[in-house]
Structure 1
């Protein structure tokens, strides 16, 4: 969709999560750092508390303090990766809260929700399928897609 927009950061959420700078894919040294960014993108610029990140990204970790430390580690790795591509300014951080700066990125799902012409053409029914927590957003996107395109409900009549 926007992979070839030079000078911009493009985030692809449909059919898998990826980040591009100047049309080139950004590679992450840590899967959790990438997932942390994906989670923040999913929250569309809203600040997310550390405890919520810990619960969602490290749901199998029983020790919440350890999970929070793991989030800090993932955030530091994410920041280091983004800094190496000179795009660390897409992140925002406060005391115990994290967000993505939506004004600094182009994102396929944001464009679809804003009803940018042609943007729904890139939505094939998948939204960050690698992350189970993204299923709620997927159901909302599906509903909007069917409403926008005036298609019959896929769960409806036979």
Structure 2
């Protein structure tokens, strides 16, 4: 949980503090969070959000959340340590030679990868791929995506990704 909280803090710094892309407080109209239905992934998503958005006025610092009257009755978070191979699959489709980017083996827990869509001065769209290693600053790894260049033009990114497109989700 702590690792996902820290990832949320890094995402806050980039998307709320530096780019002012999102509001200071959580607004469901601005961000959509999706998780699988497994407790560990739901708790990971919550931990990310807690790190990303500062506590609101209704939060009381120093109170143990299970003792807070607003805490859902009977809800007890349990940290489960497992590994999500989804990130490794994404690394593979992007053409990274190492699954953890800076070391061999599986990606570390709470490692993140974001794909950002940008517009340049001429109104052309391009993609940035950012790698968020645990306990380190993010790194722009777009140049290392097979078939891409720095600030990869959207059309180039789409073309290089077509071999991985799923046409029939029922059979996938």
TM-score, structure 1 normalization: 0.29
Q: Which has the larger Rg?
A: 2
Higher relative contact order, chain-length normalized (CA < 8 Å, sep 6+)? 1
TM-score, structure 2 normalization: 0.27
